Amino acid sequence: MKAVRLYADWTPKPEFKLGPKDIEGRQTYLGSQVWKNPRIVIEDVDVPKPGPGEILIEVKACGICGSDVHMAQPDDDGYIIYPGLTGFPCTLGHEFSGVVVDAGPGAFDKNTLKPFKGGEVVCVEEMIWCGQCKPCADGWPNHCEKLDELGFNVDGAFAKYVVVPAKLAWSLDPIKEHYSEDKLFLLGSLVEPTSVAYNAVIERGGGIRPGDNVVIMGGGPIGLAGCAILKRAGAAKVILSEPMKERGELGKKLGADHVIDPTKENFADAVLDLTNGEGAALYLEATGIPHIIFPQIEEAIWKGRTLNSTVVIVARSPEKTPVTGEVFQVRRARIVGAQGHSGHGTFPRVISLMASGMDMTNIITRKIKLEEVPKYIENLRTDKSDCKVTCIMD
């Protein structure tokens, strides 16, 4: 079968030191410090076979994530931009849905507690948590000490078939009852990125009280999903900060009440004007440029009347975040980091939200074929006219 694969050279920077979870020449938790000269190829690979506790899925739809773009994007020195867990060569793709076609021994459907028999329509968590380390035992699978990730260091879903641990699969039957088959698989491919946003604003950010104001920085897929989730959670005003008009319009379709263009108006003044001087209870940093965004957030927190604001960092960035402690002390504010999407019932809750009418397919701006994936991964480095590009499998 054809698969979209990423290769890169293991060339650690002088300051890099092999960590306890790194594997020399194979994988690291600090990708941008190690991998050089990334290159994407489409090549023939064997159809994988499911082992104990695993299922084989025929992929129907798989979205291109910003992480895919940044793993394949070199900086000026040739090193990949993505700073996290990576192991190459690897088949990319982790935002996907499909149909179970085979199962290994002991592969059970968590919804029925019965063995998978084939034909089940599912989406999948991309974080392969072990379930045995202390973070997993403590209920924090997103921070598993033995973490693997589909499409990052384990072969992913830009291929006709993919093998995954059965424990990561979630039934799309609740969505199936309300949408056509074509839309079902598109929605299924969006459960993963939407769950990243849910984990950020609800689990890590602590959610909001109905009537609170919220601000989303960045109109990418995660930011737009944040708009949809927080509006349904009862936000009085959802304010999206996004310079691209097209993405601002998508934000309005998904729940944003107002859109700010921070390149044309003062961010803090606009937030305070739109909230009658109150400010916001929650700020989601989904841009990946914290060195630019944080001074603006601090100004809004400092000048606003709202105490106890939470700033959630969900975008990945190697940049240092400038923080003025006095602002967060005096205004009783806090900063939290958010990673992943697993645990705490996040996936089934997102599936239920979609089944109840939260149609995230609005963010899909282009549908492509497998052979076009490398082209669009490269295009998305600079071309921001597309929001979510999704591969439809033949």
Q: Model confidence over 268-314: pLDDT tens digits?
A: 999 999 999 999 999 999 999 999 999 999 999 999 999 999 999 99
Q: Which tokens in the block code for residue 268?
A: 């803090």
Q: How far apart are CA 196 and CA 350, in angstroms?
A: 10
Q: Which residue among 32, 70, 94, 171 is the active-site one?
A: 70
Q: How far apart are CA 289 and CA 316, in angstroms?
A: 9
Contacts of residue 298, defined as CB under 8 A and 6 or more positions apart, other chains included, come to: 323, 324, 327
**How confident is the model at residue 317, as a pLDDT?**
84
Helix, strand or coil for residue 321? coil
Q: Do domains 2-195+341-392 and 206-337 have the same CATH topology?
A: no
pTM equals: 0.95
Q: How far apart are CA 83 and CA 212, in angstroms?
A: 34
Closest by CA to 315, choosing from 293, 285, 292, 340, is 285
Q: How far apart are CA 212 and CA 225, in angstroms?
A: 18
Where does residue 171 fall: left (phi above 0), alpha (psi -120 to 50 degrees), or beta otherwise? beta
Mean pLDDT of 182-190: 95
Return mean pLDDT, the chain: 96
**How confident is the model at residue 21, as a pLDDT?**
85
Do the Cβ atoms of 124 and 110 come closer than 8 Å?
no
Q: How far apart are CA 149 and CA 128, in angstroms?
A: 6
70 included as an active-site residue: yes
Flag whether pLDDT at 394 surpasses 90. no
Burial class (CB in 10 A: 0-12, 13-18, 19+), 181: exposed
CATH number of 2-195+341-392: 3.90.180.10
**How confident is the model at residue 95, as a pLDDT?**
98
Q: How far apart are CA 201 and CA 226, in angstroms?
A: 7
**How confident is the model at residue 296, as a pLDDT?**
96
Do the Cβ atoms of 300 and 280 come closer than 8 Å?
yes
Mean pLDDT of 79-90: 96
Q: How far apart are CA 163 and CA 320, in angstroms?
A: 37
143 included as an active-site residue: no
Flag whether pLDDT at 73 surpasses 90. yes
The pLDDT > 70 percentage for the chain reads 100
Residue 357 pLDDT grade (very low, low, confident, very high; cuts 50, 70, 90): very high
Helix, strand or coil for residue 228? helix
**How confident is the model at residue 181, as a pLDDT?**
83
**How confident is the model at residue 180, as a pLDDT?**
87
The pLDDT > 90 percentage for the chain reads 94
Domain range summary for the chain, segments of one domain joined by + = 2-195+341-392, 206-337
Kindly report the length of the chain: 394
Q: Model confidence over 129-175: pLDDT tens digits?
A: 999 999 999 999 999 999 999 999 999 999 999 999 999 999 999 99
Cα 223–chain centre separation: 10
Q: How far apart are CA 204 and CA 317, in angstroms?
A: 18
Q: How far apart are CA 64 and CA 57, in angstroms?
A: 18
Q: Which residue among 32, 67, 189, 195 is the active-site one?
A: 67
**How confident is the model at residue 384, as a pLDDT?**
85
Q: Model confidence over 46-68: pLDDT tens digits?
A: 999 999 999 999 999 999 999 99
Do the Cβ atoms of 311 and 297 come closer than 8 Å?
yes
Cα 369 to Cα 30, 121, 160, 226, 258: the distances in Å are 31, 21, 11, 28, 35
Domain 206-337 in this protein, CATH class: alpha beta
Q: Model confidence over 197-223: pLDDT tens digits?
A: 999 999 999 999 999 999 999 999 999
Mean pLDDT of 259-265: 96
**Taking each helix axis from N to C terminus, what angle separates 221-232 and 245-254, rounded to the nearest 10 degrees?**
30
Task: State yes or no: cis peptide before 89, omega within 30 of 0.
Answer: yes
**How confident is the model at residue 283, as a pLDDT?**
98
Do the Cβ atoms of 311 and 217 come closer than 8 Å?
no
Flag whether pLDDT at 182 surpasses 90. no
